[in-house]
Amino acid sequence: MANLLVTGGAGFIGSNFVHYVVQHTDDHVTVLDKLTYAGNRESLAGLPVDRVRFVQGDIADPSLADRLVSEADAVVHYAAESHNDNSLHDPRPFLDTNIIGTYTLLEAARRHDRRFHHVSTDEVYGDLELDDPKRFTESTPYNPSSPYSSTKAGSDLLVRAWVRSFGVRATISNCSNNYGPYQHVEKFIPRQITNVIRGIRPKLYGRGENVRDWIHADDHSSAVLTILDKGEIGETYLIGADGEKNNKDVIELILELMGLPAGAYDHVTDRAGHDLRYAIDSSRLRTELGWAPSFQDFRAGLASTIEWYRANEGWWSPAKDATEAFYATKGQ
């Protein structure tokens, strides 16, 4: 049994991780979350209070970070500004949280010699051509495109430096695009599902040829637990489930599963600097640490995600109007 400090545990992937830990381990969890627009206390509703403690606060607050890190056996660091479109509009919070926040936690982990796992993204590697036979591996050079991905790349490099310079016992994972419950309606899949529920036409950026490599959030959680348990200190592991799909196919599958014709969506203004394709080779995690994904059927995983959004309108509805109003100002 361990005490885990989970930063960003009221966000999409962090809250899925906390649910997963409660279901699959004996660990106790302290969530540290600032509750930005992306955090939601309701994502942790129903979890046992003797296993999960919630602290509202900023990872960039040195005294709070120091106290909570000192009380934990290990830190699992999810907290971030996570949305590319927001980073194109106002990059500053991305620097404050993703760079300074990660630095603040690393300093606390260094002072108290705590195990640290840093959750990062495949976007640090830039993008691939559609016909490139190669996929991202742990040795692909960093080449981030957006303010979001460049701050995540910066945070990864800080972790590597704190391992080498100060002996911090850290690992890093870089995962592909997640789907599942509790994802904010600003993101691609929940935006389209909730648009259909609200009677709004789904919105596809540009021609929709961009490819993302989809993984269910529960598979991301099982991979992070595997790395915490068996990962080699100082190493990086890529997490992916061989789920490459282009955005047009995903929108058409959502429409089909929700009973609408394939063409019932709008093409809207493309994202500036839009990465063309992400693709993960997760062989290292599978062969060295024995991890494998459980969700192999994207259609079934998407159908259950659609059901979750249908059944939980009270969770997403308060954020929907403001999100769509923001996109409307950008022609998206």
Question: Which residues here bind ligand NAD, judged by CB under 6 A?
Answer: 7-8, 10-14, 32-36, 38-39, 58-60, 78-82, 97, 101, 119, 121, 152, 175, 177-178, 184
Show contacts with ligand DAU in window 79-108 (CB under 6 A): 82-84
- Give dist(CA 127, CA 135) in Å, integer: 10
Where does this chain touch ligand DAU (CB under 6 A) — which range of 68-76, 86-94, 101-109, 183-191? 183-191
Pairing mode of beta strands 211-213, 52-56 = unpaired
Matching residue, tokens 């040829």? 209
Rounded to 10 deg, the angle between the 298-311 and 188-198 helix axes is 50
188 binds ligand DAU (CB under 6 A): yes
What is the closest distance, in whole angstroms, from the C-beta atom of residue 188 to ligand DAU in the complex? 3
> Which of the listed partners (ligand NAD, ligand DAU, none) does 205 bind, with a CB threshold of 5 to 8 Å by partner kind?
ligand DAU
What is the closest distance, in whole angstroms, from the C-beta atom of residue 240 to ligand DAU in the complex? 9
Q: Are 158 and 173 in contact (CB under 8 A)?
A: no
Handedness of CA 112, 115, 118, 119 (dihedral sign): negative
326 binds ligand DAU (CB under 6 A): no
Answer yes or no: 123 catalytic.
Answer: yes
> Which of the listed partners (ligand NAD, ligand DAU, none) does 210 bind, with a CB threshold of 5 to 8 Å by partner kind?
ligand DAU
- What number of other Cβ atoms are within 10 A of residue 172's Cβ? 25
Where does this chain touch ligand DAU (CB under 6 A) — which range of 39-47, 68-76, 187-195, 306-314? 187-195
135 binds ligand DAU (CB under 6 A): no
Tokens of 139: 């040795």
Residue number, nearest CB to ligand NAD: 11
> Which of the listed partners (ligand DAU, ligand NAD, none) does 204 bind, with a CB threshold of 5 to 8 Å by partner kind?
ligand DAU
Q: What type of residue is 264?
A: A
Tokens of 224: 């992070």
Answer yes or no: 148 catalytic.
Answer: yes
- DSSP string covering 247-291: HHHHHHHHHHHTT--TT--EEEPPPTT---B--B--HHHHHHH--
Q: Which of 33, 122, 127, 219 does the annotation list as catalytic?
A: 122
Phi first, then psi, for residue 159 (nearest 5°) are -60, -45
Answer yes or no: 122 catalytic.
Answer: yes
Q: Which of 27, 33, 81, 123 does the annotation list as catalytic?
A: 123
| Residues annotated catalytic, as ranges | 122-123, 148
